[in-house]
Chains A and B, each alone.
Chain A
Amino acid sequence: MKPSLGQRLDNGLRQFLPVITVLLLALLQVVPTRIPGFAHVAPALPLVAVFYWSAYRPDLFPATAAFAAGVFCDIVGGGALGVQALIFLLAQGAVASQRRFLLGAPFVIVWLAFVFIATMAAGLAWALNSALAGALAPTRPLVLGHLMTLAVYPPLAWMLARGHALVLGRV
């Protein structure tokens, strides 16, 4: 039986879930919180989604999607253009290449893998932004923000997994 137009449209939208979640988290990251000092150490929410989808649905989150999402994050975040694009791209490549290992691994191991990727990402972001600005960026907020990112991974990954199961069905 041929799927109806509505079904096809629905399927099409579902395919974009990974990209949509990354973009939404990018927007959520810059929402003013009114918490003193929070803006300096806000966690890198989109990176969690990039990691998650690269590991579990690289077919729906290919390199091109990672790049596009990165450019969007660069624009919304106000940082140097191309930096997040490169970071997401490299993260997507690294995670997708290790997905066989990640899929069977217990949660703690996956989390450790995220710690590794996020640390590399933070270091690269610092180096690239400092080089492009021609001055060293302060490291204290970077480290605090990085720790926030690592802490936010378990609950956010859980939510992404729920959304994944709900909208796309487990693969």
Chain B
Amino acid sequence: MKQHAGATGRLAVFRSAVQRFTFFLLVVLSLALMLVGRADTRVIERTRMAVLDAVAPVLDVLSRPAVVVAEVAGNVRELAQLRAENERLRRENQRLLHWQIAARRLEGEMRVLREQLSLVTDRPPRYVTGRVIADLGGSFVHAMLVGAGSQQGVRKGQAAIAGDVLVGRVVEVGERSARIVLLTDMNARVPVIVESSRAKAMLAGDNTSRPLLNYLAENVSVSPGDHVVTSGHGGAFPPGIPVGVVASVAEEVVRVEPFVERHRLEFVTLVDYSFPGLDEAAPAADAGTAVAAGDGGAGGDDADRDDGDGGAGEAGAAEAGARPR
């Protein structure tokens, strides 16, 4: 009897030792994961996208009721303001009709001028639209998962826009899902210009809802309300996509309120503006291309463009390129 109790005791001690060892091993493993994950290796990325691809259908189903609830609530709200909304739209329509006339005139003028200059225009971009199936929010990441992947033609580095305003950039692509890092994310860097002064700057997210405007030339004056658009430097985004308006200017710190309303995003359009030939030429230039190219300044940008010109005109103007710009 005593012997039996002794054996059980030893077994218990042994088991608790194994448990402690496992625990310790797992702690070390998670620390190792942090270091490996920091290095952003391809294996990690592929594993991550495989898992996300696997759960994408579940997320797709889960995200639908939220849409329905929001729609019903929105409908009720809209009904209440129908008359005022109608009036507002009528006025807006009138104003826009004036703009349309102006735009037509300018378009014609532009065409003539371009012809005179023999300007080489950018090839029309390709569009893929996907539903937002997950909102990866919080203090540490500002990202979204879209239910469209490499099967639908999504590629890493594509710009994500919604209703013509910039949302972010595709950083990881699975077969049927893709991860987009939003403008406001800590890792997002977008080369922009302030429209009024044509001053170049770098829009840098810091995980708050209003990203910072960095590297602004000292003698440039910026005031709240100024529009900020992409500059096209770095080649990741074409110039002129609306980004946001300057929200506050305080002692060297300029913050921009993005146009994109994150909670309203239901569909995101992924646009391939990249120069053909660039990907094949530099397969290593992935994840942070916009970041690196933007920080690096003019030298790197020019190189990108030269590369692009070499292969211009090939690859897909096909698919959904019919959208008017």
Contact = CB atoms under 8 A, between A and B. Distances in A.
Interface string B118-160: 0000000000000011111111110111000000000000000
A34 B59 contact: no
Classify the secondary structure of B's interface with A.
helix
A80 B186 CA distance: 12
B138 A145 contact: yes
Contacts of A81: 33-34, 36-37, 44, 48
B55 A78 contact: no
B30 A89 contact: yes
A76 B133 CA distance: 11
Interface in B61-77: 62-63, 66-67, 69-70
Nearest to A128: B34
B26 interface: yes
A36 interface: yes
Given A70-B30, A85-B30, A27 B59 contact: yes
Interface stretch (A3-11, A47-55, A131-139, A163-171): A131-139
A51 B132 CA distance: 30
A86 B63 CA distance: 28
Interface in A53-79: 62-64, 67, 70-72, 74-79
Interface stretch (B202-210, B224-232, B279-287): B202-210
A32 B132 contact: yes
A115 B24 CA distance: 25
Given A34-B70, A34-B264, A82-B30, A141 B139 contact: yes
A78 B38 contact: no
A166 B27 CA distance: 33
Contact of A86 (B31, B66, B133): B31
Contacts of B67: 32, 34
A24 B31 CA distance: 25
Contact residues on B (Cβ < 8 Å of other chain), bracket: 35 or more
Interface string A16-47: 00000000000110111111111111100000
Contacts of B136: 30, 76-78
Given A31-B62, A81-B36, A82-B33, A137 B207 contact: yes
B257 to A, nearest CB: 14
B63 to A, nearest CB: 5
Contacts of A42: 137-138
B23 interface: yes
B29 A67 contact: yes
Contact of A138 (B34, B47, B139): B139
B19 interface: yes
Most buried by B among A41, A67, A93: A67
B312 interface: no
Contacts of B186: 133, 135, 137
A111 interface: no
Contacts of A157: none
A136 B265 CA distance: 27
A39 B185 CA distance: 13
B214 interface: no
Given A32-B134, A137-B207, 9 more contacts: A38-B137, A67-B26, A67-B29, A76-B134, A79-B140, A82-B34, A86-B34, A133-B140, A138-B208
8 contacts: A71-B30, A76-B55, A78-B143, A81-B33, A82-B31, A85-B29, A137-B186, A137-B207
Interface of B: 19, 22-23, 26-27, 29-34, 36-38, 44, 47-48, 51-52, 55, 58-59, 62-63, 66-67, 69-70, 132-141, 143-145, 179, 186-187, 206-209, 261-266
For the complex of A and B, list the 3 residue pairs with the smallest distance between their C-beta atoms, beginning with the closest.
A81-B37, A39-B137, A82-B33
